[in-house]
Chains A and B, each alone.
Chain A
Amino acid sequence: MSGHTSSYEPTSRWGKWFDERLPIARLVHGSFVAFPTPRNLNYLWTFGGILMFCLVAQIITGIVLAMHYQPSDTAAFNSIEHIRRDVNYGWMIRNMHAVGASMFFIAVYIHIFRGLYYGSYKAPREVLWILGVIILLVMMATAFLGYTLPWGQMSFWGVTVITNLFSALDTIYQGLGTGIVEWLWGGYSVSGVTLNRFFSLHYLLPFVLTGIVILHVWALHVVGQNNPTGLELKEPSEAVPMHPYATSKDIVGLFAFLLLFAWFVFFMPDYLGHADNYNEANPLVTPPHIVPEWYFLPFYAILRAFTGSFLGIPLGSYAKLLGVIAMFAAIAILAFAPWLDTSRVRSAKYRPLFKWAFWAFAFTCVALGYLGAKPAEGVYVLWAQIFTVLYFAYFLVAMPVLGLIETPKKLPRSINEAVLGPDAAAAAAKH
């Protein structure tokens, strides 16, 4: 799985026999034991391992829940309550799965911001980065489909609002959008038919996700890990074997993360959800305020920023279509970051101006999240429009322009120099 050759040597006769026929132990040893890891990785680099844990945890808890859940419009809501009240440890496994979705997104957003800060998207890691963007998209689709399954009011109306986004295509070709929406629903409105197929797809996508994650890890092991200095590994002494060094650091990070995870699971399992979802879905009553889960809020704010006019520019009947395009573009633009950023310096640590742009972008995302939870009226709309412009400005203005006008700080000559200082680095290089 890597360009790095494995130093694996089977010791037993049976080990040798098997290695000549299927070198899987060699593959694992080369990829996850002896694999050279930069010696200066900080705790932000533990989120890759944490995300692996999240994916496996969601799949295991999900498979168990599917043994007790009934994907029909008459039984779904009650079967969730059945799981919470009657099934042995059902309350715990359901909480792990529901909270686990939020934890997965906390970890993936930290992982993405880490990549943006340390320039992990730049050459030669473009394909690795793009695979990550695809993983984010598939994760979002999986989470959205899964949120339908409890069949509460917020499930039902969330699906109604989000699937209706496609009807915006009617502006381009009359009937195209409506046709797609009815195809997704399998009827003329969201119904049990829709729930059933969403369950099927919700079960499928995590395995698709696993496949893309394998490609992501493969790509990582071809180009090697980035690190806080953004410099490439130059000498063997700048790396340590992944096991036990990186793995033990990963485990410390994972345990800290699990403390937070367990806190939510056992003490406030519903804190990140909506009370309205404990009312069964009713096609005749719209909740007064439809809000997606927290991890979709920034994108929801961008969607709703496009009303009759955008910062004074009248949009007319294109408002809805533009909102939908902007929302998807907000995710898709991440994939272009490797080419939008013109600076050759990777890490923001050595980029005094870019560092400010990065933190302004982080604030923009939080602000959009806040606005996404507010009703789309009055001053909230104006702020959502301003922050939408700032969101795209980070990619389309800050990334290309700063790389051209900024004078980066002096880079250390090597990772060893950054970690040990110039003299010790020279000494370490000799060994």
Chain B
Amino acid sequence: MTSHVDDANRRDFLVVAGNAFAAVGAASLIWPFVQQMNPDASAKALASTEVDLAPVKEGQAITIMWRGKPVFIRNRTKDEIAAAEKVPLADLPDAEARNGALPAATPATDSNRVKSGHENWLVAVGICTHLGCIPKGQGMGDARGDFGGWFCPCHGSHYDTSGRIRRGPAPRNLDVPPYEFVSDTKIKIG
């Protein structure tokens, strides 16, 4: 305590430093309360699923659950594969492959949405990219839309046999989840 002026400066510094620490402490305490709402360990633990494809005959489709979401798996016919392959990229509203295993800018050709050597299998998350409805087209009698793939009844989005958006409000192609063939008739998603 040499002078009043010096005293005031020291005190200002302590007040500012103290308040700054308190503010940082309070702010960092918010994080656990925000983070607790994110997917928990039990939800993340169910991150991968194995699926046996042997019972699915050509032309048939199955829906399985992966991370609480439906995944469409369709054993496509020769005609369906041919139809998907010959679509020019210019006709696609979303030109990106949306394949979890490939980089973001990959073009949305049919071959970029399936595994080479297994072109008949289309695996896609069965959630409309518009507002999250489940498109029709898995059941035998379902409406498949104007492009032979899936049709979302909520707001009228049409998907083709490669799961790509062709018409309607949905902004993106159906997502292809990351998966691999663990044997010829078995895949592991996630």
Contact = CB atoms under 8 A, between A and B. Distances in A.
Contacts of A7: none
B154 A320 contact: no
Nearest to A375: B156
Interface stretch (A18-26, A185-193, A250-258): A185-193
B43 A186 contact: yes
A171 B38 CA distance: 21
B128 to A, nearest CB: 8
Interface stretch (B18-26, B63-71, B82-90): B63-71
B40 interface: yes
B133 interface: yes
A284 B39 contact: no
Interface stretch (A136-144, A159-167, A207-215, A233-241): A159-167
A308 B157 CA distance: 11
Contacts of B178: none
A24 B190 CA distance: 63
Contacts of B34: 183
Interface stretch (A98-106, A109-117, A286-294): A286-294
A188 B69 contact: yes
A197 B37 contact: yes
A376 B134 contact: no
A184 B37 contact: yes
Contact of A182 (B38, B65, B70, B152): B38
Interface string B126-154: 00001111100000000000000000111
A290 B133 contact: yes
Interface in B81-107: 93-94, 104
A191 B40 CA distance: 12
Contacts of A191: 68
A282 B97 CA distance: 29
B169 A308 contact: yes
A286 B39 contact: no
Nearest to B136: A286
B153 A377 contact: no
B155 A188 contact: no
A163 B38 CA distance: 14
Contact of A317 (B38, B134, B171): B171
A116 to B, nearest CB: 31
Contact of A164 (B38, B40, B69, B132): B132
B171 A289 contact: no
Interface in A235-274: none
B65 to A, nearest CB: 8
A309 to B, nearest CB: 11
Interface residues of A, number: 36
B94 to A, nearest CB: 8
Given A161-B132, A191-B68, A320 B40 contact: no
Contact of A290 (B43, B93, B104, B154): B154
Size class of the contact patch on chain B: 20 to 34
Interface in A178-204: 182-189, 191, 193, 197
Interface string A271-285: 000000000000111
A184 B36 CA distance: 11
A346 interface: no
Given A308-B169, A320-B169, A186 B68 contact: no
A387 B75 CA distance: 45
A157 B65 CA distance: 17
Given A164-B131, A193-B40, A307 B68 contact: no
A185 B132 CA distance: 13
A308 B69 CA distance: 27
A310 to B, nearest CB: 12
Most A-side CB within 10 Å, residue of B43, B63, B154, B155: B154
Most A-side CB within 10 Å, residue of B38, B67, B168, B169: B169
Given A286-B153, A286-B154, A377-B156, A187 B169 contact: no
Contacts of A302: none
A187 B40 CA distance: 7
A320 B130 contact: yes
Interface string A377-398: 1000000000000000000000
A351 to B, nearest CB: 40
A171 B155 CA distance: 19
A160 B40 contact: no
Contacts of A286: 133-134, 152-154
Given A319-B169, A320-B171, A376 B156 contact: yes
B12 to A, nearest CB: 36
B43 A187 contact: yes
Contacts of B104: 174
Contacts of A122: none
Given A191-B68, A284-B70, A304-B155, A183 B38 contact: yes
Interface string B161-181: 000000011010000000000
Most A-side CB within 10 Å, residue of B104, B131, B134, B169: B131
Given A304-B155, A307-B155, 9 more contacts: A157-B133, A161-B132, A183-B37, A187-B67, A188-B68, A188-B69, A189-B69, A191-B68, A288-B153
11 contacts: A161-B132, A164-B131, A167-B132, A183-B38, A185-B39, A186-B37, A188-B68, A289-B154, A307-B168, A319-B171, A377-B156
Interface of A: 157, 160-161, 163-165, 167, 171, 174, 182-189, 191, 193, 197, 283-286, 288-290, 304, 307-308, 317, 319-320, 375-377
Interface of B: 34, 37-40, 43, 63, 65, 67-70, 93-94, 104, 130-134, 152-156, 168-169, 171
